[in-house]
A and B are shown apart, each in its own frame.
Chain A
C-alpha cells in the first residue's frame, strides 16, 4: 500500500519533470523537485516499514532490491543537486527511477524467509553499499546519455530539442566524472564487504559465482575507464559511451546473472 503510494508520487514527479523539460518553466521545475523529494522521503518510510515487517534488512527479494536501487538513485541525485545544478538532469534521472520502480512494482512483494547462513550484519552493509554504488553509476549513465544527445546535435549541426535544454558538453563531462568518482569507490567497497560476508557465510572470500564474477567484470570496466581518463585523456564521447556500457554491465550483474546464470546469489529473486 505504502509502496503503491510511493510509486504513484514518483510517477507524478517524473511527469512533472518531463513537463519541465518541454516547457522549461522554472515553476514547474521547483514543483517537480518538491515532488521528487516527497517521493524519496515516502520511499524511505516504505523501506523502513518493510524492515519492520520482515524483521531483517529488506534487501533479499528482487522487489526490495530494485526498490532500494531506485531509492539510492533518488537520494544520490538529491544529494548531488545539493552541491551543484545541472540543467534538466532531473528529467533523465526521474525517468530511470520510475522505470526501476515499475520493475519493482511488477515483481512479487512477498517477504522471503532469510536463510540462517545469511543472517549477518554484512547483509545490510554489503547490499546497501552495492546498491548505492549502482545509484551513482545509474546517474553516470544518465549523464553519459545526455552527453551523447548534446554531442550529436553539435556535430550534426541540427539544433533540435536538446541543444538549448541540455548543459554544455564540458558540464556533462564533469558530471560523468563526478558520478563515477563517487560510484566507483562505493562499488569497490561493495565488492570488498561482499567478500567479507562470503567469508563469514561460506568460509572463503571469493567463490567465482556468476554474480561475483560479473561484478568484478563491471569493476574492471569502470577501473579501466577511469584509468584511461586520467592517463590517456579518454573524455568526451568515449567516456560517455563507456559510462553507458558500464551501466549495462551493472544491470546485467543485477538481473542478467540472477535470471540467466544461477549461483549462490540466486536467492535474490
Chain B
C-alpha cells in the first residue's frame, strides 16, 4: 500500500460548467453510484461525494489506469460528453495531491464560496453513506476522519468561516442592487433543502418581511416555514404564489426544469412588471435559462452567483493562505502515517519471503537426507538464526528514526526492490 494508490477523480465548478455538471447529478437512484463503483475492478476502497458544485470519487486502487478509465466512464455515463472530451472537465489527483485536495475540499477552500460551511456536512454524509455500504477501508477511514478534523481545525484557527459568505450572501448583494431596500419584500423558497434555508436566513437578516416555502412534500415545507414564521404551500401553488413574491430561491432535486419562460410571462403582467429576482441554486437547474430574457426578470444560477462573490473575495484570501498552510502540514502528517503503515507490512513481507525460501530449501535438502528428528530440528534452528542475523541489519535500517520523510520513502522503496517484494506480491494476486 503506497501513498500513490490514493486517488481523487471528479468534476467541480472550476473544471466544468453547470450544463455539464447537471448531467452528472445522481439524484434518481441513490444506490446506483455505490453499486456501479463496487463493480469496478481494482477500486478497493472508495467514497462517493456529490453536491451542487462537485461530483468526485475518492478511491484507492492498485491497478490504476483501468480503474481510472472505468470511473470516468461511470461518472459520465448519463451525460452527452464524448469519451475523448471527458479529460477537459475532470481533475485527477494522486498521492499527496489527492490528500491535499480532499483536505481543501473538507475545509471549504475549494468551494465556490471559500469558507462556506455546508461542504463539510456534505462530505460527512458522503463518507457515512460509503462506510455504511462497506465501501471504505483502513486508508479511507483514516483519511476522511483526518479530513474532518483538519476542517474543524481550520474553522477554529482561521477566520475563514466567519467572513464566509455563501452563495446566499451573493444573492443578497444582488437583491439589494435590484430592489434597493429589502424591507417589506417577500421571498419564496422552492424546495426545502439546506441551501434554501441558508439563503432565507441571510435574506431575513436583511429585513425580508415574509417567507413562503413551497415543497413537494408539504410536511417538510411546513417545518421549514415554521422556522421563519412563514407559510407553507404545495408545489402546485407555485404559479399562484409567484404573483406576490419578489425573490424566489429554487433548490429542488427535480431532474428537469420546473418553471419555463412561458409560465412566467403572463405572471409578469399580473405583477404589473414589478421586478422578480430568481435564484436557481439547484443542479440540475430548476429554472429555464430563457427566463432571463424577460423584462424585469433577473435569473441567476449557481455559476452566475459565483461571479458576484468574486468581487469581495480579496478580503478572505489572506485567511485562505493561513488555511492552506494548515492543509499542507496536515497532508505531510498523513503521508507520515502511510509510511509507517507501510513499514510493518514491508518487514513482515521480508520475513515471509525469507521463511518461504528456507522452507522450500529445507524441504528439498531434507527429502534426500536421512537424518534424525533431533538433527532436523537443529538444522532448522540454524537456518532460522542465519535469516534473523541476515535480516537484522536491513530491518534495523528501515526502522531507524530521524530521517526526512523523503528518505524514508526512498528507503522503503529501495528495500522492496532489492528483495523483490512487490514482484512477489504481484505474483500472489
Contact = CB atoms under 8 A, between A and B. Distances in A.
B245 to A, nearest CB: 15
B44 interface: no
Contact of A171 (B180, B292, B296): B180
A78 interface: no
Contacts of B324: none
Contacts of B300: 157
Interface in B173-189: 174, 176-181
B274 A168 contact: no
Q: How large is the interface on B (under 10, 10 to 19, 20 to 34, 35 or more residues)?
A: 20 to 34
B275 A236 contact: yes
A237 B272 CA distance: 13
B296 A235 contact: yes
Given A159-B308, A235-B272, 18 more contacts: A154-B298, A155-B298, A159-B307, A159-B311, A164-B311, A168-B176, A168-B177, A168-B179, A169-B177, A170-B178, A170-B179, A170-B181, A233-B271, A233-B272, A235-B274, A235-B296, A237-B295, A238-B273
Nearest to A153: B177
Interface string A143-170: 0000000100011011100011001111
A154 B273 contact: no
A157 B271 CA distance: 24
B270 to A, nearest CB: 9
B272 A169 contact: no
A232 interface: yes
6 contacts: A150-B177, A154-B174, A164-B311, A168-B178, A170-B181, A235-B274
Interface string A113-131: 0000000000000000000
B243 interface: no
Nearest to A156: B292
A150 to B, nearest CB: 7
Contacts of B304: 157
A206 interface: no
A240 to B, nearest CB: 11
Interface in A210-239: 232-238
Contacts of B271: 233
Contacts of A236: 273, 275, 295-296
Interface in A167-225: 167-171
A163 B274 contact: no
A154 B311 contact: no
A169 B307 contact: no
A157 B279 CA distance: 13
Closest A-B pairs by Cβ, 9 of them? A233-B272, A168-B180, A170-B180, A236-B296, A233-B273, A157-B304, A171-B180, A170-B179, A237-B295
Contacts of B298: 154-155
A200 B134 CA distance: 100
Contact of B177 (A154, A158, A234, A237): A154
A44 B180 CA distance: 36
B148 to A, nearest CB: 35
Contacts of A154: 174, 177-178, 298
Interface string B164-179: 0000000000101111
Contacts of A233: 269, 271-274
A158 B292 CA distance: 14
Contacts of B181: 170
Interface in A30-73: none
Nearest to A172: B180
Q: Which one of A150, A163, A168, A171 has the highest number of Cβ atoms from chain B below 10 Å of its Cβ?
A: A168
A155 B292 contact: yes
Contacts of A155: 292, 298
Interface in B197-246: none
Nearest to B272: A233
A165 to B, nearest CB: 11
A238 B273 CA distance: 10
A163 B177 CA distance: 8
B281 to A, nearest CB: 15
B273 A234 contact: yes
Contacts of B174: 154
A234 B296 CA distance: 10
A169 B308 contact: no
Contacts of A235: 272-274, 296
B272 A232 contact: yes
Nearest to B297: A155
A24 to B, nearest CB: 14
Nearest to B311: A159
Given A233-B273, A235-B296, A157 B311 contact: no
A2 to B, nearest CB: 41
A150 B275 CA distance: 14
Interface string A232-266: 11111110000000000000000000000000000
Contacts of A157: 300, 304, 307
A235 B276 CA distance: 12
Interface in B244-283: 269, 271-275
A171 B177 CA distance: 9
Contacts of A234: 273
Contacts of B274: 233, 235
Given A154-B178, A157-B300, A159-B311, A169 B295 contact: no
